[in-house]
A = this chain, B = another copy of it.
Amino acid sequence: MTTAVACCQLAPQLGDLAANRELAGAAIADAAGQGAAIVVLPELMSSGYVFESQAEARALAEPPDGPAVTTWARLAADLDIVVVGGFCEAAGAEVFNSAALVDASGLRCVYRKAHLWDAEPRWFARGGAPPPVVATRHGRVAVMICYDLEFPEWVRLPALDGAQLLCAPVNWPAYPRPDGERPAEVVRVQADAAINRMFIAACDRIGPEGGVGWVGGSVIVDADGWPLAGGSTSEVQVTLLAECDLGAALDKRVSPNNDVLGDRRPELYRRVAGG
């Protein structure tokens, strides 16, 4: 049995919360109409990304029971699907770069980005909690955000917690790369998946904003690290859809005598954890 996973690669409008709710809502409904059971949206889908001040970020931030996540939760209930999307989170005096997972039962978790990119520390506080792993009716689904994916120690945590699919809202800034090469971010996602035998759905954005261009490299990779959909560069809004045999992620064997988690030697890894 497979699960249809979608990435809705969209172009959020900086600062237009209502337009972004409408854009995401239409994309979620369209993906569900195509059969998607799990839908991933970009990082900071609610607000856009390229803020210029802390005040701007704060003005665009919403709590998890605010309009953006509430809209996604209503659609998840109406359509009986799982939605993972990034939003600008207001939490008391702080603002976080967060992602929510909602399903038919409502809000299941909020994750706060732990590894912040470039100017983000100017407006976002750093998350300090590990990536959550949520038992959905399709299997165990984890959440992290963009630059987090480049810290394999961080990716390892949900794998150790039994995640079968890692959903990662991202906003990948575009950099030059050699001709014929996949985006470097995609290569790293492939490796993240393979070394943990875990599916990964990374949903990127498009639409230049404040001088920043984006890879448009949304990708869904299987537990061997091979792209099932996406993974190149795109400049259009698009919904990627891939049938994922999430049960494959429960089998960590890579040879008759090897297991990617069982073969770890954590007692030798202390220094990666500051020990």
- Which A residues lie at the B interface, using CB under 8 A? 114-115, 117-119, 121, 126, 128, 130, 147, 150-154, 156-157, 160, 177-178, 181, 184, 187-188, 190-192, 194-195, 224-226, 255-258, 260, 263-275
Structural contact, A272 and B271, CB atoms closer than 8 A: no
Residue of B nearest to A181 (CB): B226
Structural contact, B263 and A273, CB atoms closer than 8 A: no
Chain B CB count within 10 A is highest, among A191, A256, A267, for A191
A43 to chain B, nearest CB (A): 16
Query: What are 7 sample pairs from A and B whose C-beta atoms fall under 8 A apart?
Result: A114-B265, A128-B268, A151-B195, A153-B264, A153-B272, A154-B269, A187-B187
Q: A191: which of B128, B147, B190 is its contact (CB, 8 Å)?
A: B190
Residues of B within 8 A of A188 (CB): 191, 194-195, 225
Chain B CB count within 10 A is highest, among A126, A181, A260, for A181
Task: Given A153-B152, A272-B160, A272-B266, decide whether A187 and B225 contact each other with a Cβ distance below 8 A.
Answer: yes
Task: Given A181-B226, A225-B184, decide whether A269 and B266 contact each other with a Cβ distance below 8 A.
Answer: no
Q: A273: which of B115, B190, B255, B269 is its contact (CB, 8 Å)?
A: B269
CA distance A61 to B273 in the complex (A): 36
Residues of B within 8 A of A154 (CB): 268-269
Q: A153: which of B147, B156, B194 is its contact (CB, 8 Å)?
A: B156
Residues of B within 8 A of A263 (CB): 115, 147, 151
Residues of B within 8 A of A270 (CB): 273-275
CA distance A195 to B121 in the complex (A): 21
Pairs of residues from A and B, 3 with the lowest C-beta to C-beta distance, nearest first: A191-B191, A266-B274, A152-B152
A190 to chain B, nearest CB (A): 5
Residue of B nearest to A195 (CB): B150
